[in-house]
């Protein structure tokens, strides 16, 4: 088990290194931010001074090593636009993104799991067919367009929900979140639903397939032959079995939810790191781009590792075979 974890960690480190290389050299190969920061009338001396101040006059490889050295000390450069450390900037925006992503995943589970289980339990019912059709649509609907339509219906036509921003936040148990205020929840509702739509469809499919497959298994018949009520057969025996693949997928989806939050945040002007990266790409704020990509890759690596470990905790078969090996 430890060997497994160490090997995974080494692989992760390598991925992180390669990523920083690609991102850094790639990002520095494009555009010239000097053009943006300095007025076209500025003379050559002013330009050189600005370049030196930003460290852009040194060769690219030297800039990279300076970046790498600083990165190990937690310094990923300063934002040209905000004139503050990129990592601070991103960490400031991260809670909003995490709040959105976690809410979307929870919504996906709360809505998707029961619907999917029902669709798998009674696969021939009209309800099940409607659920399945809905999930196919959910897969095909482009997220950003659904976001626009949500705004059109709930913000513009009905006027029920605000269309932009995060709303009021409150601190509870040391966590500052808009989940704790009514205004915050009203702001969160549409973005979370928008981001959850794909997850709901995914979880419906997984739960439905797992339910159908497991209901045909001998252990279900045996459990029924023991005289267990159907309630217990479904919610204990089958549920625990379908939970394993679903938990794995949900864990892995946390990363992709954070990544896809880029779209939702841009539409709803949600002040998270996703909106920040899109703005930064458009403004060529390179330190922020590099820092964002490094941080998100790092988050992915951590999430994947945690999911692997969680998976082995949930499934006794995996747990034991790895304990032996």
Q: Does 255 bind other proteins (CB under 8 A)?
A: yes
For 63, other C-beta atoms within 10 Å of its C-beta total: 18
Q: CB 34 → other proteins: shortest distance, Å?
A: 16
Whole-number Å distance between alpha carbons of 5 and 82: 39
Can you tell me which of 224, 245, 283, 309 binds other proteins, judged by CB under 8 A?
224
Q: Would you call 83 exposed, middle or buried from its count of C-beta atoms within 10 A (0-12, 13-18, 19+)?
A: exposed
- Residue 151 burial (CB count, 10 A): 19
CB of 312 to other proteins, least distance (A): 13
Confirm or reject binding of residue 247 to other proteins (CB under 8 A): no
94 near other proteins (CB under 8 A): no
Both tokens of 206, joined, read 């997984």
169 vs 284, beta carbon nearer other proteins = 284
Of the candidate residues 77, 237, 251, 291, the single one contacting other proteins (CB under 8 A): 237
**Smallest gap, in angstroms, from Cβ of residue 92 to other proteins?**
20
Contact indicator for 200, 135 with CB cutoff of 8 Å: yes
Compute how many other C-beta atoms are within 10 angstroms of the C-beta atom of residue 91.
Answer: 13
CB-wise, 115 or 277, nearer to other proteins? 277
Would you tell me the crossing angle of helices 273-283 and 239-268 to the nearest 10 degrees?
40
Of the pair 120, 255, the CB lying nearest other proteins is at 255
Which residues are CB-contacts of 207 (< 8 A; sequence separation ≥ 6)?
A: 112, 113, 115, 116, 117, 119, 120, 242, 246
Instruction: Measure the CA–CA gap between 276 and 265, rounded to whole angstroms.
Output: 9
Three-state DSSP class for residue 261: helix
Least CB distance to other proteins at residue 122 (A):
11
- Contacts with other proteins in 25-54 (CB under 8 A)? 26-27, 29-31
Cα–chain center distance at 221: 39
Binding to other proteins, residues 278-297 (CB under 8 A) = 278, 281-282, 289, 293, 296-297
Of residues 131 through 160, those in contact with other proteins by CB under 8 A are 136-137, 139-145, 148-149, 151-152, 155-157
Part of the chain binding other proteins (CB under 8 A), chosen from 50-58, 90-98, 106-114, 315-323: 315-323
**Minimum CB distance to other proteins, residue 316 (Å):** 4
Close Cβ partners of 137 (under 8 Å, ≥ 6 residues apart): 201
Number of residues binding to other proteins, judged by CB under 8 A: 69
Residue 248 near other proteins by CB under 8 A: no
9 binds other proteins (CB under 8 A): no
Residue whose pair of structure tokens reads 């045909």 in the numeric block: 216
256 binds other proteins (CB under 8 A): yes
d(CA 218, CA 209): 17
Q: Which residue, 107 or 258, has its beta carbon nearer to other proteins? A: 258
Residue 240 lies near other proteins (rule: CB under 8 A): yes
Dist. CA 298–CA 108, nearest whole Å: 24
What is d(CA 133, CA 41) in angstroms, rounded to the nearest whole number? 60
254 is written with which tokens?
């946390």
* Contacts to other proteins by CB under 8 A: 11, 15, 19, 22-23, 26-27, 29-31, 136-137, 139-145, 148-149, 151-152, 155-157, 163, 217-219, 221-229, 232, 236-237, 240-241, 244, 252, 255-256, 259-260, 262-263, 266-267, 277-278, 281-282, 289, 293, 296-297, 300, 304, 314-317, 320
């Amino acid at each position: 088990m430890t060997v497994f974890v160490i090997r995974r960690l080494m692989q992760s480190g390598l991925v992180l290194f390669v990523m920083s290389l690609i991102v850094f050299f790639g990002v520095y190969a494009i555009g010239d931010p000097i053009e943006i920061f300095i007025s076209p009338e500025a003379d050559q001396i002013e330009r050189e001074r600005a370049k030196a101040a930003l460290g852009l006059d040194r060769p690219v490889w030297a800039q990279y090593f300076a970046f790498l050295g600083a990165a190990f000390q937690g310094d990923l450069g300063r934002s040209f636009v905000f004139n503050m450390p990129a990592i601070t900037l991103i960490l400031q925006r991260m809670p909003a993104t995490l709040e959105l992503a976690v809410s979307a995943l929870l919504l996906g589970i709360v809505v998707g799991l029961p619907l999917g289980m029902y669709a798998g339990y009674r696969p021939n019912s009209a309800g099940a067919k409607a659920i399945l059709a809905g999930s196919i649509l959910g897969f095909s609907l482009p997220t950003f367009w659904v976001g626009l339509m949500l705004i059109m219906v709930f913000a513009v036509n009905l006027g029920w929900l605000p269309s932009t921003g995060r709303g009021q936040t409150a601190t509870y148990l040391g966590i500052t979140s808009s989940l704790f205020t009514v205004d915050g929840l009203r702001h969160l509702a549409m973005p979370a639903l928008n981001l959850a739509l794909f997850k709901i469809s995914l979880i419906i499919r997984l739960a439905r397939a797992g339910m159908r497959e497991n209901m045909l298994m001998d252990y279900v018949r045996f459990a029924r032959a023991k005289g267990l009520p159907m309630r217990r057969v479904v919610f204990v025996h089958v549920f625990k079995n379908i939970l394993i693949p679903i938990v794995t997928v949900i864990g892995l989806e946390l990363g992709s939810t954070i990544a896809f939050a880029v779209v939702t945040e841009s539409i709803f002007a949600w002040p998270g790191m996703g909106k920040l990266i899109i703005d930064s790409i458009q403004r060529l704020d390179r330190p922020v781009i590099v820092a964002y990509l490094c941080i998100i890759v790092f988050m992915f690596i951590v999430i994947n590792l945690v999911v692997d470990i969680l998976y082995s905790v949930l499934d006794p078969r995996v747990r034991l075979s790895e304990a032996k090996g």
